[in-house]
Structure 1
Amino acid sequence: MSDAGLVGEAAQRVSEAAELLARADELATYSASATGIERTYLSPEHAQVNAVAGSWMREAGLRAWQDAAGNQCGRMEGDAPDLPALLLGSHLDTVPGAGRYDGVLGVLVAIAVAGRLTPGVLPFAVEVVAFGDEEGTRFGTTLLGSRALAGAWDDAWLDLVDARGTSLHEAAYTFGLDPAGMGDAGRDEGSLVGYLEAHIEQGPRLEDAGRALGVVTSIAAARRLLITLTGEARHCATPWHLRRDALLGASEAVLAIERIAREQGSPATVGHLAVRPDAVNVIPGVAEFSLDLRDVTAQGRDATWALVRAELDRIAAARGLTVAVAETHEAPAVRCAPELQDLLRAGIRATGDPEPLELFSVAGHDAMAVAALTDVAMLFVRCAGGISHHADESVTEADVAAAIDALHAAVLALAAEFAE
């Protein structure tokens, strides 16, 4: 290629990355909160970003539609009609107070890659999906969009209720979906050749290593539990030896969770803590707290939980409390397909990184659900300070350009394998 050609190609890459970042800024304006980004499943903001993403899919040459579960989809046919598709994507929903790039980056990178492709050429179709619910913020159950696409929709979810008392059934109807038909979003077995997802790392390892991109080898096994310690609510004048203080028990339990999880190497987080009666001069009779527990394997996760549960029982007995545990989520570890990992490694090498970094994902992703239907792999993109689920999420234009290049190269490498 001539020097002029190289300069033109570099300018195109910069332009693509700049446009992607501008699109992320645009999506950030669709929020239910005036003080930060908040976009939940089946909300008006969900409908708005689906419409915008759909228009960008059409600009990229895709046929766009919204599926029965509210996922925004686009498709480009291959060299014959109705071929199985390579699926690219991520999610557009957020946690409260979110950043601009968690999930969103993967959708926009997928659209950018699709825009580089020529319809009717590849030996498979290419589809882009913007999942409507990954975070589980509104209804408390994660991966609703990707589980629906994977054929795992459960009509019992229609009875889930949000913080305002609106059921998922009601929300789906208001959104314009048929609640009874949401399972129709499920794809047929054999309809996909694989799933590739780009995502910010949500950790500091790429930044620490001075790398823009990394290949995900597996996604953590996870459990979420709601733990309730019950004692006795009494006046603050109660002597120490008569107190059955649920909050003190919970405080001791949270510190024990940290100690055990550190020793076992299992990421653990207590992100919710509430007490009743919640009065300044009343000993708390009930303390409720969450536990998000993860590990490389389900066996490691469950071994850590067994140690935590034994410590909870010890604390409760010592303080005259009772313990109740409700599991709200469980997910097995997901191993990314070695063949698809190799394609992403080749894509990263094409950007100039000769030895792509391999990363284990502590965070959960839509790929976990899609893995029930087809092989999956993930590309991580460096984010400043490893910060995520926060307004300070940040990526660079150069890293975004590299991510588009790497995913594009992986798609072409898969096409070359089909041709052999």
Structure 2
Amino acid sequence: MSERIREKLQILADAAKYDVSCSSSGSNRKNHNKGLGDTGNGICHTYTEDGRCVSLLKILLTNFCIYDCAYCVTRKSNDIKRTAFTVEEVVDLTISFYRRNYIEGLFLSSGIFKNADYTMERLVRVAKKLRTEHKFNGYIHLKSIPGASDELMHEAGLYADRLSVNIEIPTEQGLKLLAPDKDRKDMIQPMNYLKEEIIQNREEKKLFKKAPIFAPAGQSTQMIIGASKESDKDIMFTANNFYRNFNLKRVYYSGYVPISNDSRLPGLSSAVPTIRENRLYQTDWLLRFYGFKVQEILTNEHPNLDLDIDPKLGWALRNLQHFPIDINKADLQLILRVPGIGLQSANRIVEARKFQRLNWEHLKKIGVALNRARYFITCNSSQFERKTYSESQIKQFILASSQSKYLKSVTPQLSLF
């Protein structure tokens, strides 16, 4: 690798780290005719739907940009070193890194050169060259450029496994404040087009087995959290709207990293705590897989998530009138709302109780976190049966239990010193 390419790689890989939406789940592109790579088998690390870790070359095509978004490190007014890869350089890097077993796929984003179509056309050329000239069957995720034409979006979907358009700021008002040159409509239009094309392609695949695949891993988006003043309630209502209206695979939440003293932004010392991102992802999970609605978790009285406890526990503590439930009789949807019981454990409970009444020992073997669940359920045992505790008491007990478990886990390491 030449010194010039090495320098470009260092600059453009570092600039790409702010984009967190690089999951490779949902694609099953197969390797044919002795091509390179296989998405099914999987330099950022992401995870497939079945939990396998996949390494992706994660870079920008360029950090030049015509926009001046206050929250973005590559904004045109920022005094940073600028550079750009050619299409051929990205293709050569991907193939070279794959042959050395460094990566199994590519995550390619970009600043905007002249306009949306000019930039998107180059991203598509990278994917097309990899697929058609090098027979590369590894995972490819392209960041779609807001405002790009439908024709380019269609071509991108034929070569990429996943496409994503970042909505960047959760609300339109926040976007107008921090990125006045951008229009939310330019972000919505390609997302809507991709949704329609993905649905149509699924129907075509049912009728014609050899119909070309189109973005098999679907589309996703990302929101920057903490650059503007939206509450967690605003953020999750926006995410829920995008899941419902655009069939998104994922919404990603990226904590704002302070980069300037712009008066429109939080101060340089007010980085978004990682725990806030985690709580948003947990809420997202509850909406997608546990049957919760946003308004159950976040309300006008509680517009922000409790950073001390997870959102499911927070909901349960505010709704103690629904508990305790009998684990041997309650339906699956109620069991899923019990803190300490996950999807897999809930399904195991429903199956296991067909054969015998479950007690605390059974639940422990199934994988239930009894330090949390014990306050919200009863079962075929007198031990741990719930007493009448208040919301604050239960929260205190659970936090104390979690702290105790943490101390036990670190004590052996501390004793070495």
Query: Relative contact order (C-alpha < 8 Å, sep 6+): which is higher?
Result: 1
TM-score (norm 2): 0.26
TM-score (norm 1): 0.26
Decide which structure has greater strand share. Answer: 1
